[in-house]
Chain A
Amino acid sequence: MEILVCVKRVPDTAENEIKINSDGTDIERDDLVYSVNEWDNYAVEEAIQIRDRVGGAVTVATIGDKDSEEILRREMAMGADKGILISDDAFEGSDGKGISKILAAEVKKGKYDLILTGAQADDGAGQIGGMLAAILDLPYASIVNKIETVDSKKIKVGREVEGGNQEMNEIEMPCVLSIQTGINEPRYVGIRGIRKVASIEIPVHKAKDLGVDAASVGAAGAKVKRVDYFVPPAGKGADIIEGSAEEKADKLIELLKAKGGIK
């Protein structure tokens, strides 16, 4: 099975507070380290496991600048066979649709049975998989937490839905799936693994290589734009509720209701 996994380089915000720069145009990036989006990492692991079961190859692709190469190498160190860096100044500032268009052009260049994305990334939009599928006119399933290969034409996928339930679907290939964390246990990649793939050539695909109209993507083509970043006001330290235990409970209930803490 030929599998393409679309990955994204994101700031690793696991332990560090995200701060906003002084003019609110961006987050403070100086102290951030970047890594592959967690969801995408699960997608790559899943692709590798499928390949190891049924054969084929796994390609990882990302849109970004030269720095994004590092995450492609990390995924290749995990076991992806090939990496593609999709990079062009014209891509900068693309909205979700723009990104999806670029990826769709990349998909068309290959012959993939399965295209995987992470269910979401740092911006939490969770839109690329669905858009990509629609552009390519392929069937799509989101938030996938289980993939069973059936035959060369179709697969069975489980979607994680509310209440911890799993919605099972049968879906024809080629198809696009967005992968949820927890679908597998991604393998560890150490420094050594990355060094092993350090010298593998990673092709760079530009707008013209993909036949993408530069005006339809990037900031120029974006219809959804981020204006600014801001932090919703929050006081430092807890507001201590005073009074008798009963009074405290009453005041707390009021606050909880306002915050949706009582259903």
Chain B
Amino acid sequence: MAQQIFAYILHKNGVADDSALELVAAAKKIDAGAKVTAIVTGTGAPLDALCKEMAASYSSVWKIDNAAVAYPNAEVIRKILVKLIPKGSILLCPHNTFGMDLAPGLSIKLDASFVSDVVAIEGIDGSNLKVIRQEFSGQVSTHILCDISNGAVVNTRPGSFKADESKSAGGAVTDKSSEAGDLSAKRRYLELVEAQVGDVDITKSDILVSVGRGIGEKDNIPVAEELAKAMGGDVSCSRPIVDAKWLDKSRQVGTSGKTVKPKVYMALGISGSFQHLGGLKGSPFIVAVNKNVKAPIFQVANVGVVEDMIEFMPVLTEKISESK
């Protein structure tokens, strides 16, 4: 394959985003033998450390150290990438809030094709790259052919590619800071307003441990919180829990609550009314735990466990902690 593959490494103060190693895996789906170049922007010692770290996974690391990109302003980074990336290259980028900010415009400036939110890459097909995307909030999937003869920007869905932990690339870091060019921008980053503590937005959660009235009493809520913590997710619930004021309204999943799009939804003691299921979008992997084998939730769940949630939760939490 003629095209060079690049990956933009997103990080926070030198701590790489999970996508950093996922992009290595994605690149290998395009071309198993690809020599992938990581582009890392930022400033100071954390940047140096990260570049070194990335060199283990990427054949080559381009470092751009500039105070203008201390915070990743997509407009500035676009300028850098347009300047650095050779025509016809493929650039991989995570499809998160930064990737969505950067990639579409970048593809225009590179005159390359753009395909976003890719969940799987099937490989090269002639001059096309064949990928899988999802549409209608994940209800259906599609195969996409993306003409890469002029290069492409490919945004991959975070978590869709298993991070390549082999760290066997043995790459070198090249400082490209001097080639960055003019970095003035019409958009200036001001500040990051942090979400209030405890104010969890369940619509953004990938993993939800959702409890229904099977939880029995308020005292069991912390048990569910423990489980959610072990799984790395958040606690959500069905309406009766909110009605009972055991959890905040912002935690409610359902037509009268939040519409959520998690990857994994564990429904504990939720019978599965359609008002509740109406709040479940995309196609999450649903695990139903319910002592009633006839609960309708089992009809829509992928996996079912017929157990009393109150007894099952601590067992599960403990086992997960052990397995880590």
A residues sitting closer than 8 Å to B (CB atoms) are 11, 13, 15, 17-18, 20, 27, 96-97, 100, 119, 122-131, 133-135, 138-143, 156, 158-172, 175, 178, 223-232, 234-235, 237-241, 245-246, 248-250, 252-253, 255-257, 259-263
Q: Does residue B2 face the partner (Cβ distance < 8 Å to A)? A: no
Q: Does residue B3 face the partner (Cβ distance < 8 Å to A)? A: no
Q: A96-B114, A165-B195 are in contact. Are A143 and B264 (CB under 8 A)?
A: no
| Contact among B96, B100, B204 with A130 in the assembled complex (CB-CB below 8 Å) | B100
Check A142–B150 contact: CB distance below 8 A.
Answer: no
Check A133–B105 contact: CB distance below 8 A.
Answer: yes
Distance in angstroms from B27 CB to nearest chain A CB is 19
Check A166–B101 contact: CB distance below 8 A.
Answer: no
Nearest chain-B residue to A263 (Cβ)?
B232
Q: Does residue B106 face the partner (Cβ distance < 8 Å to A)? A: yes
Contacts of B113 in A (CB 8 A): 97, 223-224
| Contact among A17, A143, A235, A262 with B232 in the assembled complex (CB-CB below 8 Å) | A262
Check A239–B304 contact: CB distance below 8 A.
Answer: yes
| Contact among B106, B144, B185, B305 with A252 in the assembled complex (CB-CB below 8 Å) | B305
**5 nearest A-B pairs in the assembled complex, by CB-CB distance:** A263-B232, A130-B104, A238-B304, A261-B264, A164-B195
Nearest chain-B residue to A242 (Cβ)?
B306
Check A165–B193 contact: CB distance below 8 A.
Answer: yes
Please indicate which of the listed interface residues A27, A129, A133, A134 has the most CB atoms of chain B within 10 Å of its own CB: A134
Check A263–B115 contact: CB distance below 8 A.
Answer: no
- A sample of 20 inter-chain contacts (CB < 8 A) reads A18-B136, A100-B108, A124-B133, A127-B116, A130-B103, A142-B74, A163-B195, A168-B190, A226-B144, A234-B302, A246-B315, A248-B305, A249-B316, A252-B316, A255-B287, A255-B303, A256-B287, A260-B159, A261-B233, A261-B287
Distance in angstroms from B192 CB to nearest chain A CB is 5
Q: Does residue B97 face the partner (Cβ distance < 8 Å to A)? A: yes
CB neighbors of A among B184-234 (8 A): 185-195, 199-201, 204, 206-207, 230-233
Please indicate which of the listed interface residues A96, A142, A231, A253 has the most CB atoms of chain B within 10 Å of its own CB: A142
Check A223–B305 contact: CB distance below 8 A.
Answer: no
| Contact among A100, A130, A163, A228 with B142 in the assembled complex (CB-CB below 8 Å) | A228
Rounded to whole angstroms, the CA-CA distance of A167 and B200 in the bound complex is: 17
Q: A142-B100, A161-B192, A234-B283 are in contact. Are A18 and B304 (CB under 8 A)?
A: no
Contacts of B107 in A (CB 8 A): 97, 131, 134
Q: A133-B105, A260-B263, A263-B232 are in contact. Are A246 and B187 (CB under 8 A)?
A: no
| Contact among A134, A169, A229, A238 with B104 in the assembled complex (CB-CB below 8 Å) | A134
Rounded to whole angstroms, the CA-CA distance of A260 and B208 in the bound complex is: 12
Nearest chain-B residue to A176 (Cβ)?
B105
Rounded to whole angstroms, the CA-CA distance of A231 and B103 in the bound complex is: 27
Distance in angstroms from B203 CB to nearest chain A CB is 9
Check B186–A165 contact: CB distance below 8 A.
Answer: no
Chain B contact residues, majority secondary structure: mixed
Rounded to whole angstroms, the CA-CA distance of A141 and B73 in the bound complex is: 10
Contacts of A140 in B (CB 8 A): 74-75, 101, 105, 187
Contacts of A127 in B (CB 8 A): 103-104, 114, 116
Check A17–B139 contact: CB distance below 8 A.
Answer: yes
Q: A123-B135, A262-B323 are in contact. List 6 more A-B contacts (CB 8 A).
A: A18-B136, A127-B116, A134-B107, A262-B231, A263-B206, A263-B232
Q: Does residue B240 face the partner (Cβ distance < 8 Å to A)? A: no
Q: A134-B104, A256-B264, A263-B233 are in contact. Are A171 and B186 (CB under 8 A)?
A: yes
Check A122–B135 contact: CB distance below 8 A.
Answer: yes
Q: A126-B117, A225-B144, A228-B142 are in contact. Are A237 and B108 (CB under 8 A)?
A: no
Q: Does residue B166 face the partner (Cβ distance < 8 Å to A)? A: no
Distance in angstroms from B135 CB to nearest chain A CB is 5
Check B142–A124 contact: CB distance below 8 A.
Answer: no
Rounded to whole angstroms, the CA-CA distance of A140 and B107 in the bound complex is: 14
Rounded to whole angstroms, the CA-CA distance of A187 and B186 in the bound complex is: 32
Check A249–B312 contact: CB distance below 8 A.
Answer: yes
Check B188–A169 contact: CB distance below 8 A.
Answer: yes
Contacts of A255 in B (CB 8 A): 285, 287, 303
Nearest chain-A residue to B153 (Cβ)?
A127
Rounded to whole angstroms, the CA-CA distance of A261 and B289 in the bound complex is: 15
Contacts of B288 in A (CB 8 A): 238
Q: Does residue B172 face the partner (Cβ distance < 8 Å to A)? A: no
Distance in angstroms from B186 CB to nearest chain A CB is 4
CB neighbors of A among B140-163 (8 A): 140-147, 150, 159
Distance in angstroms from A47 CB to nearest chain B CB is 19
Check A263–B101 contact: CB distance below 8 A.
Answer: no
Check B104–A135 contact: CB distance below 8 A.
Answer: no
Rounded to whole angstroms, the CA-CA distance of A167 and B188 in the bound complex is: 11
Nearest chain-B residue to A125 (Cβ)?
B116
Contacts of A123 in B (CB 8 A): 133, 135
Contacts of A100 in B (CB 8 A): 108
Distance in angstroms from B207 CB to nearest chain A CB is 6
Check A128–B104 contact: CB distance below 8 A.
Answer: yes
Check B101–A143 contact: CB distance below 8 A.
Answer: yes
Check B315–A249 contact: CB distance below 8 A.
Answer: yes
Please indicate which of the listed interface residues B145, B204, B303 has the most CB atoms of chain A within 10 Å of its own CB: B303
Contacts of B117 in A (CB 8 A): 124-126
Q: A262-B320, A263-B232 are in contact. Are A126 and B145 (CB under 8 A)?
A: no
